[in-house]
């Protein structure tokens, strides 16, 4: 057998191929069977993400994909075969993982159902093309030894980073590979060092390393094939030990800060919010759950994003009712606001502000959402899509919201300085203020009713918990029909909202699911390496892996 023949023959040879039967079976899948196999791998990979966290399925998916890329060398056009196999994997991977976006198009089906093909077909196709394009770019350097692990991991993670940066003001870093590790547990703590991107890169390397146990090389020792998985086990064993010690030395805060916060969600179904007859009922329900200002009531109240589905500062009666009920307390509230209302330069923002009993006589400070949801809050490729009649899913801003500046620490009397994150912003690492502007805690308000009834709300909350770990800051999270509660600086829940007590707050309207909880703000920890260096360590690891290609043999 010549050297060139050995390089293109996918059959395992020699010693050490303990997975030879499985490898041979994958090698035998060509044409549409290979595409179907890769699509199945992409679908089952989602079992590794919240709420399941069955990480072996991610390992199974990546190892199967690596083996399928090995056997693509037998196709008449190997590089093209590799592209389509990864495209099939990616389409199923993103289709299942991003299903919640399609749910949002069902809230008002009369206006948006006709465009549901966009999240179900166009978006997975776009994201999978990024992943398959990255593999296509590196496939000429593909080899059959351990070096292909670094080639695969580098291309995979570069694609994941790139799709997280799409559209300029709103990429899609949803379900990054590091999310397979449950936030608040040991391995997740390493996000405080290198963030979710660094953890994701190490995760891809580790989960794909078992694939190195089998290859088509006619020679190769057991040690050379087993080395990647042994190294991965040592690295993740060390991460687990370090993380376990970190959280072991920091039990749930028994003496949190003196600031008590009431987290309130009226639990209004999204399709009900903009019905004209619902406006007053929604305001009344929020005020019931907030309760009167007494000596024992928390001094800070938080309502979710878009709590009152109208321009609060253009409805004097509602504004007076809210500020009167708040009295001497502080209310952190998400509400849309408009500039130049009805004029040629009208601009609408998805905003957060802090109200008190005097807010009818003074203009409050605003935080305008910086990272906007594609299609939900702004239109990418607006000129083309608006020409076919597509508008955003927002009733108050069908033309889209305007993006505000990057978040800064929100400072106002009576509230500890906090970093604001509205809804989707909580999935973006590194968005919170740092350095001298570092806040004492984070506030994440959201409308998780958009995310459906399946995995979306839980996955959204898990990603928010990773932001607390990265920054070393506690987080108060209020999500309409989502997971509401207080999170400590290690990503652990210290308090979670429960259904509102009927005896205290009265019954919910039919179909509503209100919840409320009082909690103290946990202490922050010292600024983490990630808080100081952001993605610097991720890029160092990424560059280091690629330098490894100059060391490992690629023949």
Q: Which residues does the annotation mark as catalytic?
A: 305, 369, 423
Compute CA distances 54 → 37, 58, 179, 238, whole Å: 20, 8, 11, 20
The whole-angstrom separation of Cα 186 and Cα 136 is 35
Kindly give, in sequence order, each residue whose CB lies less than 8 Å from that of residue 395, ignoring residues fewer than 6 positions away.
108, 273, 274, 309
Q: Tell how strand 415-422 and strand 475-480 pair up.
A: unpaired
Our measurement of the distance from residue 369's CA atom to the centroid of its chain's CA atoms, rounded to an integer in Å, reads 17
Degrees to nearest 5, angle at CA 60 with 59 and 62: 65
The whole-angstrom separation of Cα 457 and Cα 452 is 7
Residue pair 18/225 in contact (Cβ under 8 Å)? The answer is no
The whole-angstrom separation of Cα 348 and Cα 308 is 15
The whole-angstrom separation of Cα 525 and Cα 189 is 13
Q: Cβ atoms within 10 A of the Cβ of 34, count? A: 21
Residue pair 53/180 in contact (Cβ under 8 Å)? The answer is yes
Short-list 454, 525, 456, 453, CA closest to 487: 525
Alpha helices in 45-171 (DSSP H): 56-71, 78-97, 99-104, 109-112, 117, 123-138, 147-163
Cα-Cα-Cα-Cα dihedral sign, residues 318, 321, 327, 331: negative
Our measurement of the distance from residue 47's CA atom to the centroid of its chain's CA atoms, rounded to an integer in Å, reads 16
Short-list 235, 263, 188, CA closest to 465: 188
The whole-angstrom separation of Cα 300 and Cα 302 is 7
Residue with tokens 């089952």, as numbered in its chain: 44
Cα-Cα-Cα-Cα dihedral sign, residues 475, 477, 483, 485: positive
């Amino acid at each position: 057998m010549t050297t060139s023949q050995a390089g293109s023959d996918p059959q395992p040879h020699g010693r050490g191929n303990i997975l030879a039967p499985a490898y041979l079976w994958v090698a035998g899948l060509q044409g549409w069977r290979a595409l179907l196999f890769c699509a199945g791998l992409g679908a089952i990979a989602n079992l590794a993400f919240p709420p399941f966290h069955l990480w072996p399925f991610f390992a199974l998916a990546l190892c199967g994909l690596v083996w399928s890329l090995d056997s693509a060398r037998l196709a008449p056009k190997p590089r093209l075969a590799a592209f389509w196999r990864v495209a099939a994997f990616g389409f199923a991977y993103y289709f299942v993982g991003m299903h919640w976006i399609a749910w949002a198009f069902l809230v008002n089906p009369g206006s948006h159902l006709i465009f549901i093909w966009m999240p179900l077909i166009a978006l997975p196709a776009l994201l999978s093309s990024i992943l398959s394009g990255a593999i296509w770019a590196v496939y000429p350097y593909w080899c059959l030894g351990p070096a292909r692990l670094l080639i695969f991991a580098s291309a995979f993670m570069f694609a994941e980073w790139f799709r997280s940066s799409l559209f300029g003001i709103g990429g899609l870093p949803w379900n990054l590979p590091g999310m397979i590790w449950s936030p608040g547990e040991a391995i997740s703590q390493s996000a405080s060092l290198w963030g979710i991107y660094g953890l994701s890169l190490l995760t891809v390397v580790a989960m794909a390393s078992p694939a190195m146990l089998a290859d088509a090389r006619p020679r190769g020792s057991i040690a050379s094939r087993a080395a990647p998985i042994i190294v991965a086990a040592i690295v993740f064993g060390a991460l687990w030990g370090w993380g376990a010690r970190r959280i072991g030395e920091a039990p749930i805060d028994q003496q949190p800060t003196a600031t008590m916060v009431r987290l309130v969600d009226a639990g209004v179904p999204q399709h009900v919010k903009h019905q004209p007859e619902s406006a007053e009922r929604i305001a009344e329900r929020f005020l019931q759950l907030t309760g009167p200002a007494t000596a024992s009531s928390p001094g800070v109240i938080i309502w979710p994003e878009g709590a009152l589905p109208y321009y609060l500062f253009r409805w004097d009666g509602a504004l007076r009712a809210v500020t009167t009920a708040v009295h001497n307390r502080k209310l952190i509230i998400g509400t849309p606001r408009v500039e130049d209302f009805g004029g040629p330069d009208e601009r609408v923002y998805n905003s957060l502000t802090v109200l008190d009993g005097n807010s009818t006589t003074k203009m409050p400070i605003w935080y305008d959402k910086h990272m906007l949801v594609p299609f939900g809050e702004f239109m990418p490729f607006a000129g083309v899509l608006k020409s076919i009649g597509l508008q955003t899913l927002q009733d108050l801003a069908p033309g889209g919201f305007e993006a505000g500046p990057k978040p800064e620490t929100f400072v106002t009397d009576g509230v500890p300085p906090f970093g604001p994150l509205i809804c989707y912003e909580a999935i973006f690492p590194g968005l919170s203020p740092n350095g001298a502007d570092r806040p004492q805690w984070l506030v994440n308000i959201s409308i998780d009713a958009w995310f459906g009834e399946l995995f979306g709300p839980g996955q959204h909350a898990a990603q928010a918990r990773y932001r607390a770990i990265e920054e070393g800051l506690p987080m108060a999270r209020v999500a309409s029909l989502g997971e509401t509660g207080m999170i400590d600086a290690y990503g652990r829940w210290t308090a979670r909202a429960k259904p509102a007590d009927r005896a205290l707050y009265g019954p919910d309207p039919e179909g509503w699911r209100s919840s409320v909880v009082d909690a103290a703000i946990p202490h922050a920890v010292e600024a983490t390496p990630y808080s100081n260096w952001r993605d610097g360590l991720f890029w160092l690891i990424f560059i280091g892996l690629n330098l490894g290609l100059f060391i490992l043999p690629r023949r």
